[in-house]
Amino acid sequence: MADRNITIRQARTNNLDGLNLVVPRNQLVVFVGRSGSGKSSLVFDTIAAEAGFQLNETFPPFARNRLPKWARPEVEHIDGLTPVIVIDQRRIGGNARSTVGTITDAWTYLRLLFSRLSEPHVGESNRFSFNDPTGMCPTCHGLGEVVVSAVERFLDLDKSLAGGAIRLPGFGNGGYWYTQYADIGTFDVDTPLRDWTASELEALLYGGQAAADLGHKPPKDYEGVVERFERIYLRTADNLSERKQDAIRKFTKSGTCPDCAGDRLNEAARTATVDGNTIGQLARLEITELLDVVRQIDTRIVGPVVAALTARLEAMVTIGLGYLALSRATTTLSGGESQRIKTVKHLGSSLTEMTYVVDEPTVGLHPTDVDSMVKLLEQLRDSGNTVLVVEHDPAVMRHADQVVEVGPGAGAEGGRLVFQGAFAELGGSGTPTGKALARQRAMKVTNRRENGKLTVTDAERNNLQKVTVGFPTGVMTVLTGVAGSGKSSLAQELVEQQQAIVIDQKPVSANRRSTPITYTGIAPAIRRLFARLNQVPAALFSANSDGACPECKGLGVFYTDLAFMEGQEVVCETCQGRRFTPEVLAHTVNGHSIADVEELTIDETITELPDARISRALQQLAAVGLGYLRLGQSLNTLSGGECQRVKIAKELREAGEPTTYVLDEPTTGLHLDDIDTLLEVLDSLVEHGHTVVVVEHNLDVIRQADWLIDLGPGPGRHGGTVLFEGRPADYGGHSTPTSLALAGAGRATAVRRGALTGRV
Ligand code: ADP
Ligand code: ADP
Ligand code: ZN
Ligand code: ZN
């Protein structure tokens, strides 16, 4: 009889401090703890990594190269693992051939349906696949889009032909228009194109009949600029060098395929119908509407197919994505949408005894949508799997079979098991999460006064229905509404119309060597401090000077290049990776050598390295709650939320002019405690004279805003209008999802916290 537990002994990955844990299988286990406490190190970098590593080992080497690479975690012993599937927030991204329909397999069922029922009969289901040569549109090869000439960028109207009016590469020398248009006497090579007649311009660009009307040759003898450009460059794009392709990219754009109008399919596939609808029409419907159509289909011949398709579409609706269409390219989905789609995909799987590892599934979800997400996780568990979830939302913890808290603090102050048990016991446990759940959070009493307004006018991006709305300046505004209601679309319009700046969660730097030291530029100040206090030259403390270890030249490591395996980093034996000579390491500040500095946290540095310049450079990072980062830690290891706070710190340090900042769900990855820190950080942006607009679902953040703009009422085309603009405190008594959620939370809060009168 197999062991029913996953057992972990002495885990030391990243900040884990010899952590021991026994997790029951076939349960829903929620991992909680402050940001940076080690939840991801435990769940992703230890459990998922070990399972992935062991699974890879069972494949022959050539197959292993095609599998995701897993670094073996630092752990003494793990057993009871089953194969792991990670459902993270990484966008599905890249591939232009992937749509909501293909990624969820709904498209497979729809194709099957068409292959059985379509009028006229077209053939097997591959004939409806845009990724199959027998189904794809021959013009766009199934992409639905083609590269077309950006004719408006071809000509510089202020110049003459002789002066280089044709901007395209290879058209400058005059030979071209001379051979083409010599017989048309009126093509004056010295007149700026602006002074040409419309028919002359037309003849130049398109040749053919337009040119024949002016000259003496038959239309086919005139090749216009556009035709020539497309013949030489576009139709042979695959054979061009990278540099040529770069050069012509400026003169092209992608446009809807003229043949299939974006349906991606060849003529037979895109014109056949079922109950009067083409497959393209169905793909463009919102999933909720598609469901209505599918339910009408006569199921006598195709019962199982309709049932499978209906189940898949219903799962999409349950998970709050009913507003998407199957034709939507996955490259345009948000992180939260991508994650929910991945979850649906796995729900359809009949594999059991898997371990699903899920990262913050509530991201992007309105409180009213969280319950359906939890149901999906429970469904995964009930079909015989183990579900491990990293999550900060109490609404998810409440449904866990077991809650595991890692902590108590972040970084070196975390990495230990501080709680394991039922959610009901967590509140009284005294752990950071337990205390945060029980605590009375200070309420904002007065709303700050705006000092002006930025107006977004007639916004029609995506689902917005000609929205005109004012954003008050000098205060914090929160943008709310159910997922898909249009919040991001409106935020993008604010960015475009009013030059707002987005502070997102993308990586701070692509460079692996980027650390808090390099990012804030404090290395010279640190060297000068060591020099001053030790009465020696500052250059000694530079890793490319005489003070450096002569063996590794101050790198601390050697790189070995192995022909068939990945390169290896080997620590230098002479300096043990400490990069400096023993003489240099003997010079200390407050007991820390220059090599120890990399191990100091930002908070420690501010107290231990007494230097105004260093403290000033670091104090904003500490203020945004990142005081636990080590000075030498690669910024590549930061989570999305941490990256966002690094960027806020930079703005606090550098922005002079009042600026408008837009933040999309800044609470992502934040523990309840850290949300207080975030709110303080946002407040300090406002106190510096800036305007802050946040897209957010977190009720605590919403209640702390000065102004609220609520979009809705529903997702997709059922949304896109402004339901409310005003102070959050005045948004009671409406029957909108946000007003109800605020009221619900308000009541719960009032009971728990014994406070909350009408004013927020
Ligand atoms: P959580 O998931 O609880 O927010 P993490 O497990 O991501 O926390 O991080 C725990 C600690 O380990 C943090 O101090 C973080 O900065 C650090 N850390 C995370 N990844 C790495 C890594 N690849 N290398 C070194 N330190 C890391
Ligand atoms: P929210 O931020 O409130 O979740 P969005 O502004 O992202 O909502 O989306 C509003 C609507 O616009 C949704 O129906 C969404 O599917 C659609 N949408 C968003 N981005 C795109 C896009 N790039 N192409 C087509 N539709 C989009
Ligand atoms: Zn096409
Ligand atoms: Zn060395």
Q: What is the pTM of this model?
A: 0.75
Q: Kindly indicate the confidence band of residue 641, based on its pLDDT and cuts at 50, 70 and 90.
A: confident
Q: Please report, rounded to a whole number, the percentage of residues in the chain having pLDDT higher than 70.
A: 92
The answer to whether residues 417 and 21 touch, using CB atoms and an 8 Å cutoff, is yes
pLDDT given for residue 293 in this prediction: 95
**Residue to mutate (ligand 2; options 287, 331, 460, 462; most atoms within 8 A of CB):** 462
Q: Which helix (H) or strand (E) holds 584?
A: helix 582-585
Between residues 394 and 676, which one has the greater pLDDT? 394
* Mean pLDDT confidence for 244-251: 80
pLDDT given for residue 376 in this prediction: 85
Q: Kindly indicate the confidence band of residue 441, based on its pLDDT and cuts at 50, 70 and 90.
A: low
pLDDT given for residue 474 in this prediction: 95
Between residues 562 and 491, which one has the greater pLDDT? 491
* Mean pLDDT confidence for 403-427: 94
What residue owns the CA closest to ligand 1's atom 20? 637
Q: Please report, rounded to a whole number, the percentage of residues in the chain having pLDDT higher than 90.
A: 48
The answer to whether residues 203 and 122 touch, using CB atoms and an 8 Å cutoff, is no
Distance (angstroms) between ligand 3 centre and the Cα of 342 equals 28
Examine the pLDDT at 668 and tell me if it is beyond 70. yes
Examine the pLDDT at 562 and tell me if it is beyond 80. no
What residue owns the CA closest to ligand 2's atom 14? 716
Three-state SS for 691? strand
Q: Which helix (H) or strand (E) holds 421?
A: strand 416-421
pLDDT given for residue 760 in this prediction: 24
Of the given ranges (162-166, 505-509, 592-596), which has the lowest mean pLDDT? 505-509
Q: Kindly indicate the confidence band of residue 568, based on its pLDDT and cuts at 50, 70 and 90.
A: low
**Residue to mutate (ligand 2; options 366, 369, 488; most atoms within 8 A of CB):** 488
Neighbours of ion ligand 3 (CB under 5 A): 137, 139-140, 257, 259-260
Between residues 239 and 317, which one has the greater pLDDT? 317
Between residues 175 and 51, which one has the greater pLDDT? 51
pLDDT given for residue 675 in this prediction: 83
Distance (angstroms) between ligand 2 centre and the Cα of 716 equals 7
What residue owns the CA closest to ligand 2's atom 23? 332
Examine the pLDDT at 318 and tell me if it is beyond 90. no
Atom of ligand 2 nearest to the CA of 485: 3
CA-based nearest residue to 506, from 110, 226, 90, 177: 90
What whole-number distance in Å separates Cα of residue 459 and Cα of residue 709? 15
Q: Note the pLDDT tens digit of each residue in 29-40.
A: 999 998 889 999
| Sequential DSSP letters for 591-627 | TEETTGGGGSBHHHHHHHS--HHHHHHHHHHIIIIIT
What are the E-state strand segments in 681-720?
691-695, 707-712
Ligand nearest to the CA of 267: 3
Of the given ranges (289-293, 672-676, 747-751), which has the lowest mean pLDDT? 747-751
Examine the pLDDT at 754 and tell me if it is beyond 50. no
pLDDT given for residue 346 in this prediction: 79
Examine the pLDDT at 679 and tell me if it is beyond 80. yes
Examine the pLDDT at 68 and tell me if it is beyond 70. no
pLDDT given for residue 748 in this prediction: 39
Distance (angstroms) between ligand 1 centre and the Cα of 13 equals 9
Beta bridge partners, 146, equal 255
Examine the pLDDT at 652 and tell me if it is beyond 90. no
CA-based nearest residue to 104, from 333, 278, 317, 346: 346
* Mean pLDDT confidence for 565-585: 82
Distance (angstroms) between ligand 1 centre and the Cα of 278 equals 50
* Mean pLDDT confidence for 473-494: 93
Q: Note the pLDDT tens digit of each residue in 138-155.
A: 999 999 998 888 888 898
Q: Note the pLDDT tens digit of each residue in 92-140.
A: 655 778 899 998 889 999 999 999 999 999 999 999 999 999 999 999 9
Distance (angstroms) between ligand 2 centre and the Cα of 326 equals 14
Between residues 266 and 737, which one has the greater pLDDT? 266
* Mean pLDDT confidence for 418-432: 94
The answer to whether residues 449 and 475 touch, using CB atoms and an 8 Å cutoff, is yes
CA-based nearest residue to 311, from 348, 281, 286, 279: 348
Domains and CATH numbers, the chain: 2-91+334-437 (3.40.50.300), 100-144+258-318 (1.20.1580.10), 147-256 (1.10.8), 453-508+643-743 (3.40.50.300), 516-635 (1.20.1580.10)
pLDDT given for residue 631 in this prediction: 94
pLDDT given for residue 505 in this prediction: 78
pLDDT given for residue 2 in this prediction: 52
Q: Kindly indicate the confidence band of residue 186, based on its pLDDT and cuts at 50, 70 and 90.
A: low
Q: Kindly indicate the confidence band of residue 567, based on its pLDDT and cuts at 50, 70 and 90.
A: low
pLDDT given for residue 486 in this prediction: 93
pLDDT given for residue 755 in this prediction: 29
What residue owns the CA closest to ligand 2's atom 5? 486
For residue 326, what is the DSSP state?
T
What residue owns the CA closest to ligand 2's atom 27? 462
Kindly report the average pLDDT of the chain as a whole number. Answer: 87
What whole-number distance in Å separates Cα of residue 139 and Cα of residue 11? 55
pLDDT given for residue 644 in this prediction: 85
Burial track 128-138 (b if 16+ CB lie within 10 A, e otherwise): bbbeeeebbbe
pLDDT given for residue 142 in this prediction: 93
> Which amino acids bring their CB within 6 angstroms of ligand 2?
323-324, 332, 334, 462-463, 481, 483-489, 715-716
Q: Kindly indicate the confidence band of residue 3, based on its pLDDT and cuts at 50, 70 and 90.
A: low
**Residue to mutate (ligand 1; options 12, 40, 417, 419; most atoms within 8 A of CB):** 40
Distance (angstroms) between ligand 1 centre and the Cα of 514 equals 16
Examine the pLDDT at 390 and tell me if it is beyond 90. yes
**Residue to mutate (ligand 2; options 489, 664, 696; most atoms within 8 A of CB):** 489
pLDDT given for residue 94 in this prediction: 55
Examine the pLDDT at 637 and tell me if it is beyond 70. yes
pLDDT given for residue 676 in this prediction: 82
Rg (CA), the chain: 31
pLDDT given for residue 583 in this prediction: 93
Distance (angstroms) between ligand 4 centre and the Cα of 558 equals 9
pLDDT given for residue 440 in this prediction: 54
What whole-number distance in Å separates Cα of residue 363 and Cα of residue 483? 10
The answer to whether residues 679 and 378 touch, using CB atoms and an 8 Å cutoff, is no
Give the count of beta carbons closer than 10 Å to the beta carbon of residue 474: 17
Strands 707-712 and 501-502, by their bridges, are: unpaired
Of the given ranges (117-121, 169-173, 469-473, 716-720), which has the lowest mean pLDDT? 169-173
Examine the pLDDT at 378 and tell me if it is beyond 90. yes
